[in-house]
Each structure stands twice: as structure tokens, then as C-alpha cells.
Amino acid sequence: MSSKKNTKKVSDSEDDDFEEEEDESEGSGEEDSAENSVKEEEDEEEEENGDNEIKEEDNADTKIEVKDENEDDEEEEEFKPSINGNKRKNDTPVEKAAGLSNAKQVKTSGGDAVKKPVQKQQDSDDEDDENSDIKWKYLEHHGVLFPDYWQKHNVRPRYDGKPIDLNLLQEEMATYWSQTLGTDWEHKPKYRENFSKQFLDTFGKDKGKYDFDKFDFTPIKIHLEEQKEIRKNRSKEEKNQEKQKKERLSDYYAGAILDGFREKVGQFMIEPPTLFKGRGEHPKMGMMKGRIQPEAVVINISKDAPVPKCSVPGHGWSEIVHKQDVTWLASYKDDSVKKQHKYIFLSAESKLKAENDKKKYEKARRLKNLIGQIRENYERKLRSSDPVDRQLGTATYLIDKLALRVGNEKSEEEADTVGCCSLRVEHIQVIEDTQIGFDFLGKDSMRYQNTVKVTEIVWKNMQSFIKNKKPGDDLFDRIDASSLNEYLKSQMEGLTAKVFRTYNASHTLQKELDKADEEGLDKMDLKDKLNFYDEANRNVAILCNHQKTVGKNFDVMVGKMEQRINVYKDYEKELHTHLNKCKKNGVNAYEKEVILEEKDDGKHKMFVKKFPGTKEKIQEAIEKIKKKIDEEQNKKQSKEKNKEIALGTSKTNYNDPRISVVWCKKWEVPVEKVFPKTLIAKFVWAMDTDLEWSF
């Protein structure tokens, strides 16, 4: 057993403190995800426009996107170059040859911004602003920060058992690949195929001489682990210096002035190069995401605002624009992998975001008042003799009832993700008893697998839509995303599939939370109330098919929970034995320390078993540990039940926050137990909602 200075004690009298620590550790993942949710929120708010070909999707390895709110598994620290190191002026010839550069050849003075014409985007591509009205009168900011160019570490991998020299780009790519060694990504066929091809292409005319399977990147992997240990063992002074450096950069880049008020920028760092992962079986996984150069970045500021200085010597901005009808500060197109535009926005708690959020939820409430009329309309179309109307009615029914996205056409290079309009015959199964089975890849390549009971007319329509068709044929062959969106907007101004999802999510949450009276919430303690709320939110996540990838440490964490439960159960048995002895001969009180949770560093979490000297005290201890066992088992069951369900997405993007605020007030639940501090800041406009308000 480790010495006391290497352990942390948790006695049975300290259970409450121990529980709070566990709750905080799980909640921290939620806060982190909300803090970094800039890109995902903007993605979630995009209109499902059939003509929008450059809509940004979530990507598991994108540095400016959110992790699932409940993803509390620790991720291995990625090796990244430090901020603001030495810069080189241009891409190397081999970068250009490998197609990994986003730079355009322009003449600029060192560090000065330049105005250079670029092809204009369509208004539908300018983020998701709901209309073209003026969003701001004055906007000033400091632009974006670029990651450093790669600095060689000169650690050589082996080829066919012998060390091999790599150039700058090859070493960078090899280092990113080395991060995947020992993970599932290393052995994913498509990931390996794409990376190996691109890596060998960097050898130019000599690429035919090399076999990727003969490369051994272990030396670089060892180097990364050594560097990780060095960073971990830095002195407090060194860590503080790095922290202060980051704070200085943040103070400079994270601030913007909007109509005379200082606002926080959500994410000011351009994505660094890395290997693309995506989610699901994306056809481009394993490809190198190229370096974004300033010449790819468009800056949006006021006409009378100072132009931000470009931090990369010898480079300049692509264009300076003054678009007051959009809310993005900067945009750029990443041509290396997904070839999509990305945007830099103000943070989630900014005034603009708050206004957009409130408009979004008010639009969903407006749909609530019209939903009966809209359903009557599409139900008439379900029975129409016109095949186009029947398909429009059926598609709208699926969007309404199943929270499906509209679905756009995909190129062969994109992941085969589908929505309602892009469903194929192979994705559905018409089953007896008016049931329809769905099995397809939705957004982020997350599998949607569901069997639902539908109305008889919908069932008959679906049966007729697949008649005499091949598995690869379109289910809805007479409509597309544009025509469906046009129909939706004819029913209500601004109506999209996303508005349906927001309405159905908020309506479902309100309906579930309204069951509190019949569930006897007034007699529940705080933990039971929170479990009730989480179950309501879980039903929303299931409705919207909000899934997450199971974390690599999930089994380890569940194993630790089981270990704690077993320790508590052993303690309960020992208490019963102790009680029997007490009844016969009397006993003396004593304590015993055992390991509650083992740690790799030897600093085990300990548990102090207390054995009282009287029957009454022993019985109290038994009741207390029984309650503790129940709580731990419920926590474990909840974690297993939600291992593939992302509870945070609906809470952040679809549930009207006023529903949760009113519920918390009514049942005396602190709002910080439901929302992390980042969501409280994001939804500050909802915190004063009247107790009588209802969605």
C-alpha cells in the first residue's frame, strides 16, 4: 500500500465531498465543450439550403469545433508547434507539389494587409444570418493568429530497418502519423491508404522505390512521449511563463469592438495542419489538412476601422470587406481536404449571438402556433394524386416527426451522409404493421438506425416510392432539397428543417419536464431532480439522433466505477458481520483504509472504512453505504446508457433555455447544476424569464 503522502483519503463521513469531486470532473467536460463550441453552433444554425455547397460540417479533429459535451474521456495530448515561433515566407516546393498549400502567389510588403480581389460568395454561403438586415454599425478586431511553421526535430524514422532522412514536410507528416500509432486509426484501411499515398507522393519521382509498410515511425513516437514528459515536468515558473504568453495573445486577439462595446472573439486561431479524421467512414480520412496562408483569409471590418496587421511576414490578407449584413469577422476556404469555407465569429455569449439565439427560439415558438395548420397542409399532400405533392408531404412528415435534416447531394469525394431528400431505397425497409425501418449515415457520419410506426398513408406512400426501384435509386426522385425548402418557406416565413428540429426538441423538453408534478418532484432530493431533468433531455437527444463516438477510455472509466461499487459492497458485508458480533459480545470501534481507485502514478484514491462501536451507529453506517451503492450503480447505468448519446448538443443548440430556467426556478434547482458556466453566459438573456413563461 502506498504511503499516506501519496494517497487521497475518502472516509464514509466524507462521501459528500467525494461525490462532488466526481460530479465536477464529469461536468468539466461539458464546460470545456461549450467553451469551444463556436464552429459547431454556427454549423447547427445553417439553413438547409440545397444550393449551399460549401457548408462547414463538424469534424472530430478540427481545432475550432466542439467536443461532445459529455465526452469526459481524456484525449491524448497532440503534438503541436508552439505559438509565434519562427516563420518562413513561403511554402516549400514539395508542399506545393503535394497540394498542401493554401497560399496564392501575391506580392506583399512584410506583414502589411493587402486588398486583393477574390471570387465573391453567394449570400447563402455567408454563415447563417437569418436575413440581410444590418447586424452592426461598427466592427473592429485584430484579425486571426496563424499557427507556426513546422520546426524540425530531426528524429529519423526507419525504413527497412535503417534510419532515413526526411525533408521538412515529410517530417511533419510523419510526426502526425506517429500520433496515431497504437490507436484504432493506425489500422483503419481508408485512413492508412489515404495517408500512405499522400506521404509517398512527397518523395516525387522516387515514390515508387518505397513501400509504406516498411516505414517504422516508432522513433518519432518515442520522441513525442519524451517531449510530453518534459512538458509535464516543467517547473512552475516555466508553466507560468507559457500561460502568460498565451494570455497576452488572447488579450490581443480575443477582443473585438462592436458598436462601441468590447466583445469576446470565439476562436482567433486558424486551424493548424494535421491529419483529417472526420467521423464515421469519411472517404478522405487520413489526408493531410494543409496550412492556411493569410492570402486565403478575408477580413470583415467597418470601413472606418483600422485594418488588422497580418502576423506572417511577407504575406497579406486576401481581401478586406465591410459586410454589415453578416456576423463573421473573418472567413477562409480550406482547399486541402473538404474544400469548404470556414468562419471566425464572436463568442457564444456575445450580443449578436444572444440576439440570434433569441430570434431562433422565438421562430420555433411561432411554429408552435402554426404547426396544426402546417400539418393539415402536408397531410393533404400525402393523399394528393400529384406524385410531387405526395413526396413533398411525405418528406415533410419525416422531417417533422423524426427531426431529419433536408439532405443535399454529395460528391464522390464527400462522406456518404444523407438527409431526407437524399435517402435511397437501400436506406429504408417497409415493414408490416405500418412500420418503416431506417438505416443510414446522418450528419458527421453518425449512423441513424430506427424503426418507427407511421400513419397508414405514409406507409403506403413509402411503399409506392420504392416500387420497381434499385437499392441505389433515390427514394424521393421527384423532389430535391431546394424544392422542399421552397415548400417549407411557403408555409411559414423562414421555416426550415432546423426550425422543425428546434420546435420539436423544445416542445419535447417542455412536455417531459411538465411531468414533474405527477412524478412527485416536490418530494425528491436534488440528485433525483437532476436525474429527472437529464432523462427529459435524453429523450430530446434521442429524438434528434444526437450521437457521439464512444471515447477510448470509456471501458476504463466504467471499470473504475465497478471497482468503487465493489469496495462499497465489501464494506457493507463487513458492517453486517461487525453488527452480528456487536449483538453477541459487543465490539470496539475501529477504522480500516483500502484502495478505492488505483492510479498509475501511485497516488491512489483511498477509502476509510469506519466500524462504529454501537448497534445504532453500525446500522446507520449500513444504511448510508447502501445509499452510496445505489447512487454509484445509478451513475454507472446512466453512463452506459448514454455512452453513444450526446446530451449537450440539444441543450446548447435546440432546447429553448428558458424552459430549463423556469423549471429550475419552480423546483428550486440551482441553474448552474443544469447549465455549465459557459452556457449560463451564452444564455444570460434567458436567466430572468418569468416563472409563468412556457414554451
Q: Could you give the residue numbers annotated as active site?
A: 654
Distance from chain centroid for Cα 62: 10
Do you know the residue count of the chain? 695
DSSP β-ladder status, 297-300 and 590-597: unpaired
- Spatial distance between the Cα atoms of 21 and 366, rounded to a whole number of angstroms: 42
Residue 147 is classified by DSSP as P
Q: Which single residue is written with the C-alpha cell 495573445?
A: 249
Query: CA 649, CA 500: separation in Å to the nearest integer?
Result: 16
Q: What's the CA gap between 234 and 254, in Å, rounded?
A: 27
Residue carrying C-alpha cell 493568429: 145
The H-assigned helical ranges of 289-421 are 351-382, 387-402
Residue 435 is inside which H or E element, if any?
Answer: strand 435-441
Rounded CA-CA distance 451/435 in Å is 7
CB contact at 8 A, 219 and 178: no
Cell 472526420 belongs to residue = 278
DSSP label of 233: T
Q: Say if residue 690 is exposed, middle or buried (CB neighbours under 10 Å; 0-12, 13-18, 19+).
A: exposed
Give the residue among 354, 352, 299 at the shortest CA–CA distance from 329: 299
**Other Cβ atoms closer than 10 A to 215:** 18
Q: What are phi and psi of 464, to 5 degrees?
A: -75, -30
- Rounded alpha-carbon distances, angstroms, from residue 24 to 485, 660, 675: 43, 20, 13
